[in-house]
Structure 1
Amino acid sequence: MKIKLPDIDREEIYIDNKQSIILIGANGSGKTRMSIWIEENNKNISVHRISAQKSLNMPETVSLIESGIANEKFLYGNSSNDKEWLKEHGKKLIRWNDKPVTHLLNDFNELMELLVTDDYEKSIEFRKIHKSGDTEFNNETKLEKIKSVWEDVILHRKLEISLGKIEAYDANVYGSDKLYNASEMSDGERAIFYFIGEVLSVPEGSLIIIDEPENHLHNSILSRLWNSIESHREDCTFLYITHNIEFASSRINSQIVWIKNIKSDFQWEYELVDEVSKYEKLQLEILGNRQKVLLVEGNSKKSIDKKLYSVLFPDYNVIPVDNCNRVIQYTKAFQKLKSAHYTEVKGIIDRDRRSDEEILSYKSYNIFAPEVAEIENLFLIPEVIKVVCKKLYKTNYKEL
């Protein structure tokens, strides 16, 4: 699939033969507006966009409607006898209420109507063909596929499909009295159902735009969910708008588009990022961040450095990168690549046994060290001890 992007200096830009495209950039850089431009300027492709601003109110029950009407309502927001007008204008005027950037997408009911209608029609077809003697015929419905993917992602819950409604229950405790309507599921469970249903319902060969695929989802299941969804729609191309750097770097056969700034409704300053090698996650986080960055030792799970320096330097996004060698390496690299980003990047390392001359040489690269050997020593300086003692004294005095 060949996807057209906005021109760069009057040069036409296309992305070809990629499983996914990832838009990253700071808040306000124009990521959503670019996705809308892409939707409106790839007329030769079926494009289905899922907004970050959407309602997850799942209907308790839905009624069957004619399949053609159900499909039109899902794709365009409503049906019409004027098919040409519907395809040309219906999506923007009805689905997006002529406000494609800010409109709250509310199409869960339309999705459920399509799924229930599909399930009913395929059930009739299945019964008819099996009665004719072809017992090997199988026409798996969209709801059955959703159930399979949903239960593979949410291991502690199961879904029960019946005419016009979906129910859920605890995988370890089943009984008719334990069933509850799927509309009562958690935000995350409904979001997973919605994402799967939307993607499985788009036409063949579509470009699917998902704004913030991480919404309502725990990081531990994010990649597993979208890997499974993508595997069921290998005919489609996925365009993700995300702030989750780990998820962005987990996509296979993808093209990252770093959006720096929006100039107008049809012009952006952006760059196709191809080389994100050894420290791609750090690069992506810095590229998509307007806040100043401070690189420190430690890791995201166990880092005194991050906790302390985040309090001392609240204007900085403090990012731990394991050890002092990496702090030095990465900070120096970003100092040399200032033209590639707008962010101020500094580093702090432990002094350890380094000489004053070595510490001074690092300052030219915006790498600094405290006046103590290790960060833990900062808790032993007299000023800190006095504050702790006063705090403990007041607390114990109150207890007495």
Structure 2
Amino acid sequence: MNITLPPRKGSQPLEIDTSGLHHVVIIGANGSGKTRFANRLAADLGGQAFRLSAIKALYNKDSEDASDNSIDMLYRQAVSGSSLLRPDLKGEFERMIGLMVNEEMLSLIQYKYSGDKRKMHHTRLDRVMEQWQKVFPGNRVLVESGRMLFSRDISSDAYSPSKLSDGEKTVLYYLGAVTFAPKASTILVDSPEMFLHPSSIASLWNSIENSRPDCTFIYVTHDLQFASTRGQGNTIWVKNCNPVKGEWDYDFLTATDGINDEVYLAIIGARKPVLFIEGDGVHSIDARLYPLIFEDYTVKSLGGCDRVIESTRTFNSLRSFHNLNAYGIVDRDRRDEGEVSYLRKKQVYVPDVAEIENIFMLEPVIRTMARINHRNPDEAFAKVKRNIMRLFEADLRQQALQHTRHRVKKGVEHRIDGRFANIGQLENHISDLAHELNPRATYESLCREFRRYVQDGDYASVLRVYNRKTMLSESHVAHHCGLRRDDKDVYINTIINILSVNRPGADDIRTAIRSTFSLG
């Protein structure tokens, strides 16, 4: 069976061949039009569509789905033909339970009064109870006096479905509702991850899909984690919608695109160029600072520098697909100008400071912070600079050694990657490496260069090469800028706060930090 998707902006609508295809994921950012997309798809499918929404079923009790095969309409039909079913049930969840219990009671009556005492008919409720007890081992489901009841174990008291948690109600709703879907229908599920614990989502939906192998499931979500649980299949990325024209901008994303989760998330959520950064996305200074500096970018934290570099490369290799630019930012650490230039060509940018803490030590930032706190900017910067230059001079040889180690390591990696005809050639090559790389000459050259920074008072160059996590504390920058506590975290948090609420001085700080980069 082929499903024709809704009208597509600028080109013909796409089609999905559902032969052998059990599910499709419609994914898009909030406001992208994916719900409208699903509504139009359901309307085009007509009687073949069967809609499921846990939040509507559990909470929106006053609305009804008027589709011929919906649970609401099935309930209306059953009420008119059965005296056992209460006519005042509200909401899809309660009506679904009513329908199952009604079918169970009718099945029992038929079994009792028919002369046939063979095995009873296997009802919907039987199937749901079997699956429920797989999801919640040890829990029991029973029907008593026309009611469905639950218990945690054999010894505990039974309780009604209203006492279930939202997650339990959602599981029960999905397990029961899919049994009412017409044969070979298309089941559209809105926000299938809603109320469910992430650890149980994959197994639950696998079980539900296996219970209806005749149907195709279409999931509408913005949750990347859920989308990843569906494995192989078609993923439709809804980018945007024109409700006036009734058309959408959308495309297929498939496993062969080679997009990792972070890039994928940026693609579906981005309205602006993407900026990948280091850090954990919550506690790191990078994640707290860079979104306030680069406000015209969608900023996404990826962890380590290697992931930033690779994700930027992958994203930009797909530019013809998504028409967005991606950039990366990684710490300079001990990279030389050759490495920095290479990364820049890949649109990965390196600040003119050794590490992110040094950004807060930029001269314009210090002067701005002093001015905000009614201190003399010249005096404040002069004191901080004097402290930094003194620290760097004392640490000069160790810093030169660390830079030498980095360059030797990179040189070894580059040379060992060469091709060798045999093990002898490799051995000879390795034996010559120490002479070829000449680490002592590199070290002595760096020492001379670093001494020149000290002699010339070249503060900017020191910030570019000096890796020292305690620099903020040891320079007493917070004290010299007039903060009440001489504490590096107070200093950083004050700058973050100024930027986040755009207090006076925010633009000057933002300009100073942006000037250390050259983003497109």
Q: TM-score normalised to the size of structure 2?
A: 0.58
Residue of structure 2 equivalent to 1:226: 205
Indicate the residue corresponding to 1:162 in structure 2: 144
The question of whether the paired residues in 1 share the 8 Å contact of 2:148 and 2:160 is answered with yes
Cα–Cα, structure 1 residues 318 and 156, in superposed 2: closer, same or farther, change >3 Å? farther
Instruction: Between 351-360 and 187-196, report the one with greater CA deviation.
Output: 351-360
Is the Cα–Cα contact under 8 Å of residues 296 and 349 in structure 1 kept in the other structure? yes
Distance in 2 between the 1:77 and 1:124 partners?
20
1:1-400 mapped onto 2 (5 Å cutoff): 1-8=1-8, 9=10, 11-16=12-17, 17=19, 18-43=21-46, 45-51=47-53, 54-56=56-58, 74-75=72-73, 78-79=76-77, 106-127=91-112, 132-134=116-118, 137-155=119-137, 157-171=139-153, 174-176=155-157, 179-264=158-243, 266-290=246-270, 292=272, 293-297=274-278, 304=284, 308=288, 315=295, 318-341=299-322, 343-370=324-351, 380-382=470-472
- Cα distance between partner residues in 2 of 1:119 and 1:391: 72
* Residues 349-369 of structure 1, C-alpha deviations (whole Å, 9 max, x = no match): 233331133224323443233
Q: Which has the higher helix share?
A: 2
Higher CA-based Rg: 2
- Post-superposition Cα deviations, 1:286-308, rounded to whole Å, max 9, x if no partner, equal 221035543234667x9747754
1:208 match: secondary structure: strand
Equivalent position amino acid for 1:381 in 2? M
Q: Is the 8 A contact 1:25 1:288 kept in 2?
A: yes
Partner of 1:96: none
Change (3 A) 1:374 1:170: farther
Q: 1:100: which partner in 2?
A: none
Go from structure 1 to structure 2 and tell me whether the alpha carbon gap of 1:156 and 1:323 turns closer, same or farther (over 3 Å shift). farther
| Greater RCO (Cα-Cα under 8 Å, separation 6 or more) | 1
Q: Secondary structure at the match of 1:161?
A: strand
Deviation at 1:217, TM superposition (A): 1.4
Aligned pair in 2 of structure 1 residues 310, 206: CA closer, same or farther (>3 Å)?
farther
**Cα deviation, residue 280, structure 1:** 4.0
Task: Check the 8 A contact 1:161/1:167 in 2, yes or no.
Answer: yes
Runs of at least 5 residues in structure 2 that lack an aligned partner in the other structure: 62-67, 79-89, 360-468, 488-520
Deviates more, 1:3-12 or 1:223-232: 3-12
CA shift in 2, pair 1:119/1:309, >3 Å: farther
How far apart, CA to CA, are the structure 1 residues paired with 2:216 and 2:330? 43
Q: Partners in 2 of 1:111 and 1:385 — Cα distance?
A: 67
Name the CA distance, whole Å, in 2 between partners of 1:350 and 1:156.
53
- Percent of counterpart pairs with the same letter? 30
Letter in 2 for 1:13: L
Change (3 A) 1:72 1:79: farther
- In angstroms, what is the RMSD of aligned CA positions? 3.7
Matches of 1:321 and 1:127 in 2, distance apart?
Answer: 64
> Aligned residue for 1:62?
none
Q: Give how far 1:230 is off.
A: 0.5
Per the alignment, residue 65 of structure 1 pairs with: none
For structure 1, the residue ranges without an aligned partner over 5 or more in a row are: 60-69, 81-104, 394-400
1:253-285 CA-partner distances (Å, limit 9, x unpaired): 421111121123531111122354443423431
Measure the CA separation in 2 of the matches of 1:75 and 1:380. 69
**1:23 aligned partner, one-letter code:** I
Mapped contact 1:58–1:190 kept (Cα < 8 A): no
Give the Cα–Cα distance (whole angstroms) in 1 for the partners of residues 175 and 294 of structure 2.
39
| 2:34–2:220 contact (8 Å) kept in structure 1 | yes
Alpha-carbon distance between aligned partners in 1 of 2:202 and 2:22, rounded to the nearest angstrom: 15
Letter matched to residue 289 of structure 1: G
What SS does structure 2 have at the residue aligned with 1:41? Answer: helix
SS in 1 for 2:237: strand
Match of 2:390 in 1: none
- Name the amino acid aligned to 2:12: E
Take 2:43 and 2:69, find their aligned partners in 1: how far apart are those partners? Answer: 20
The count of aligned residue pairs is 353
More strand, by proportion: 1
Superposition deviation, residue 213 in structure 1 = 0.6
Kept in 2, the 8 Å contact 1:211–1:240? The answer is yes
Q: Distance in 2 between matches of 1:241 and 1:155?
A: 29
For 1:380, give the aligned amino acid: T
Between the aligned partners of 2:60 and 2:238, the Cα distance in structure 1 is 34
Once the two structures are TM-superposed, the CA of residue 20 in structure 1 deviates from its matched residue by: 0.9
